[in-house]
Amino acid sequence: MIVIQAMALAIALVLLGALFTRRAWSLYRLLRSGKPVARFDNVPARARAEATVVIGQSKLLQRLLPGLMHAAIFWGFLVLLPTIVIAMIGAVDAHSTLPWLGAQGWYALVVDVFAVLVLMGVITAFVIRKIQRPARFQGSHLGEADLILALIAGIVCTLLLWHASQIALRLNDYPAQWAPISSALSHLVAPAAPALERVAVWTHVLIILSFLVYLPYSKHLHILVAAINVYFGRTRSRGRIEPIDFEEPEAEVRFGSARAADMTWKQMLDTMSCTECGRCQDVCPAYATGKALSPKLLIMAMRDHLVSGATTAIVPNAVSDDIVWDCVTCGACVRECPVGIEHIDHVIDLRRNLVMVESRFPEEAGTMLRDVDRTSNPWGKPQADRLQWAEGLGVRVLQPGERPPEVLFWVGCAPAFDERARRAAISTAKLLQMAGVDFAILGQRESCTGDPARRMGDEYTFQRLAGENVATLNGAGVKTIVTTCPHCFNTLGNEYSDFGGTYEVVHHTQFLADLVHQGKLSPMPSERTITYHDSCYLARHNDVREAPRELVSAIGQAVEMPRNRERTFCCGAGGARMWMEEKRGRPINQERVREAVETGAETLAVACPFCTVMLDDGVRETGSKMQVFDLATLLAEAVERRRAMAT
C-alpha cells in the first residue's frame, strides 16, 4: 500500500510540477526579455522592505480590518509551510511524519491556531467582497479571487480534518492536548476516522498542488511574485524619475514604452504583481473625480497586453490616451500599493513615447512645451521679467564670478510669473532679510527646472534645461538652495544629481521653521483658524510634513482636513496637469476646496505655488469665501504683528 501511495504522489508531483515549471519558465523568459533597469543595488534597504512590507504587512495594515484579514492568511501560510511536507509524508505512510518538528507539541498548537486564523481571514475576505462590496474592487477579477479563497479554505479545512482523524486513530506523533482544536474535532469525526484520514490527507495534498499550478496561469500571479517585486522596488527618492540615456547608440535608446517589448523587466514584474485590491484606485484623485484613469485598471490592462504576447501599441490598444493624460503623478497609488508597483513610471514611459516619438499630446500641453523650449518657462514670458517680483525689495542678484551666498533662493517660474504665486516669493525674501540670512537669487540666469516637461514626457527638453541649470549652479559655487516650489524642490534635490548637480535643497517651510526655532523670526499667533493642504510633491514624495504644521501652529489655530500628510489629496496641478484643461469628470481642485471648507477654517494654507493657483481657482469656482495663502505670507504677517506690538 505504501508503494502504491508513493507512486501516486510521485506521479502527481511530476505531472503538476511539469505544468507549473512550464508556465513559470515562460513567465521568466518574458521578464528576461524586458529592458534593463538597475535594481540590484542597496541590498540592506531592499532587505528592510522585505521585512516591513512583506513579512510585516505594513502597507496592508494601514487599513485595519482588510489588513488583519490578509495578514492572518499570509502569516498563517508561512507558519503552515512545513505541514505541506508533513502531509506528503503522511499521504504515503500514515505512521510517518517529519523528523522532530512533526512530533513537537508547540508546533501542533501553532498549526491549530494559525489554521483557524487563516479560515477566519478567508471568511472575512468573503464578507468584505460579497457583503460590504467596496468600490475599489470594481473591475477586479472577483470570480478568480473567490476561487482562490475557496482553495485556501479547502487547504486549512482538510488539514484540520486530517489532524482530527489522526488523533481519533492515535496516529499523531505530537501530544494531542497540544492541538486543542483538532482534538475537539476528533470526537466529531471519530466514527468516520479510518476512511477520513486517507481522504483528508490526499485531498489536502492535491488541493495544494492544484493551487500552486493554477497560480501562474491565473490573474492572481501576485501570490508568487509580489515579494520579489517589493524587493526590487525603488530605494532612491520616490519623487525621482529614471532618466533616459541619450548618450547610448541611437538604436538602443529607449524612448518610453510603445509596445510591451519596450517595458523594463521591473515594469513587467509590476504588472504580474498586481493583487487587484483596488487600494490605488481608492486614493487616485483622477478616478475619484470621474476621470478615465484607474491605476489598478491601467496595470491590469498592461499585464493582459503583455501576457497575451500582443505586438501592437499599448496606446490606444490596451490603454486609452485619456488614461495616460489624466494622471497627476501625485504618487498616492504608489504609496498605497502593498506590492511595490510603480504606477507613475508606467505613465511617464507611455507619455515619453507619445510625446517624443509620436508627437501626440493634448493641444494645451503642446503650448506649454513650446513655451518652455522657447522661453525657458512654461508661462511663455521673457526671461527679463523674472526679476519683476523683487522690485524694491533690495534682493541681491548673484552675478557670474561673485562670491556665492550661504543660501541661494531658487524662486521658480510660478512665483516669478504668476501674480498669485508671487506673494509667497516676496514674503519669503522679506522673512530671510528679517532673519539676517545671507541669500541671493539668480535672476535671469534661472530657468525652469524642467519638471513640467519631464512629467509631460518630454525628456529631451528636461535634460537640456537640467544641464544648463546644473552648469549655472555649479559655476556659481552653490551649496544650499531654498525654494518655495515642491516641484523645484523635488527636481533640484532628487533628479539633478543624475546630471552632476548635488546640492542641499531645503523647502522654504523647513528653512523658515528652523528660523522660528532659532528665535530669528518671532511670529505672534492669532485666533485665525487655518487648515493646511499638503502638497503631493512635498508630503508624499519627499516626506516634508511636520515643518509646515509647526508654522501653522506658530501663526494660528490648526484644523486638519481628513486627507492629510502622506495621504493628502492632490490639488490637480501635478504631472503637468497645471497646463491642461480638465475636460472629463469633476475638477480635482474644487473637490479639495470643498474638503477644506468642510473643516470650518477661515484660511486654506498652502506651501506650493501650483497649489496656490489651483486652490485659489477652486475657491472662486465654488463660490467659497475661504482665503488661500502660502505659509510664508501668513508667517510674514505674524512676524510683522509681533514687531508692531513691540513698537
Q: Which residues contact 159 (CB under 8 A, 6 or more apart)?
A: 80, 83, 87, 111, 115, 204
- Domain match, 83 and 199 both: yes
Q: Which residues contact 284 (CB under 8 A, 6 or more apart)?
A: 293, 294, 295, 332, 333
Terminal Cα distance for the chain, rounded: 101
Look up residue 352 and give its three cell numbers. Answer: 515619453
Residue 276 lies in a domain: yes
Residue 55 lies in a domain: no
| H or E element, residue 426 | helix 419-434
- Domain match, 525 and 637 both: yes
Give the number of other CB atoms < 10 A from CB of residue 168: 24
Sign of the CA dihedral running 407, 412, 416, 420 = negative
Q: Which residues contact 347 (CB under 8 A, 6 or more apart)?
A: 298, 324, 327, 329, 575
- Domain match, 340 and 405 both: no
Going by C-alpha positions, the residue among 328, 239, 291 that lies closest to residue 572 is 328
- Domain match, 214 and 330 both: no
| H or E element, residue 283 | helix 279-283
Look up residue 83 and give its three cell numbers. Answer: 505541514
Cα(246)–Cα(644) distance, integer angstroms: 57
- Domain match, 501 and 586 both: no
3-state class (DSSP) for residue 407: strand
- Domain match, 272 and 308 both: yes
**DSSP labels for 53-79?**
IIIS-TTGGGSHHHHHHHHHHHHHHHH
* Chain centroid, CA 45 distance in Å: 17
Q: Which residues contact 302 (CB under 8 A, 6 or more apart)?
A: 260, 263, 267, 271, 314, 318, 319, 346
C-beta separation of 287 from 281 below 8 A: yes
Q: What is the CATH number of the domain that holds 266?
A: 1.10.1060.10
Q: Which residues contact 331 (CB under 8 A, 6 or more apart)?
A: 238, 239, 344, 536, 540, 541
The owner of cell 524612448 is 255
DSSP 441: B
Residue 427 lies in a domain: yes
Query: What is the reported pLDDT for 240?
Result: 97
H-helix segments, 93-169: 105-127, 142-168
- Domain match, 625 and 576 both: yes
Number of structural domains (the chain) is 4
Going by C-alpha positions, the residue among 361, 368, 290, 364 that lies closest to residue 321 is 361
Q: Buried (b) or exposed (e) across 620-631, using 16+ Cβ within 10 A?
A: eebebebebbbb
Cα(224)–Cα(108) distance, integer angstroms: 26
Q: What is the CATH number of the domain that holds 607?
A: 3.40.50
DSSP 35: B
Going by C-alpha positions, the residue among 229, 343, 239, 223 that lies closest to residue 283 is 343
Domain-terminating residue out of 515, 533, 565: 515
Query: What is the reported pLDDT for 251?
Result: 86
C-beta separation of 440 from 408 below 8 A: yes
- Domain match, 511 and 522 both: no
Reported residue count of the chain is: 647
Cα(251)–Cα(272) distance, integer angstroms: 28
Q: What is the CATH number of the domain that holds 180?
A: 1.20.950
Residue 298 lies in a domain: yes
Cα atoms found within 13 Å of the Cα of residue 253, Cβ hemisphere only: 15
Query: What is the reported pLDDT for 365?
Result: 92
C-beta separation of 213 from 19 below 8 A: yes
Cα(178)–Cα(180) distance, integer angstroms: 6
Angle at 374 between CA 372 and CA 378, to 5 degrees: 25
Cα(329)–Cα(350) distance, integer angstroms: 13
* Chain centroid, CA 325 distance in Å: 18
Q: Which residues of the chain have pLDDT under 50?
A: none
Residue 170 lies in a domain: yes
Domain-terminating residue out of 360, 387, 407: 360
The owner of cell 508606467 is 346
Cα(121)–Cα(136) distance, integer angstroms: 19
- Domain match, 353 and 438 both: no
Residue 632 lies in a domain: yes
Cα(575)–Cα(326) distance, integer angstroms: 9
DSSP 276: -
Query: Which residues lie across from 253 on neighbouring strands?
Result: none
Going from the C-alpha of 468 to that of each of 222, 493, 549, the distances in angstroms are: 43, 16, 35
pTM value is 0.95
C-beta separation of 581 from 550 below 8 A: no
Cα(331)–Cα(240) distance, integer angstroms: 11
- Domain match, 547 and 477 both: no
Task: Look up residue 622 and give its amino acid.
Answer: T
C-beta separation of 573 from 610 below 8 A: yes
- Domain match, 133 and 177 both: yes
Q: Which residues contact 492 (CB under 8 A, 6 or more apart)?
A: 410, 449, 481, 483, 501, 503, 505
Query: What is the reported pLDDT for 422?
Result: 96
- Domain match, 598 and 504 both: no
Query: Which residues lie across from 410 on neighbouring strands?
Result: 483
Cα(587)–Cα(128) distance, integer angstroms: 31
Largest CA distance in the chain: 101
Domain that holds residue 191: 2-32+63-220
Residue 47 lies in a domain: no
Domain-terminating residue out of 201, 220, 239: 220
3-state class (DSSP) for residue 264: strand
Residue 237 lies in a domain: no
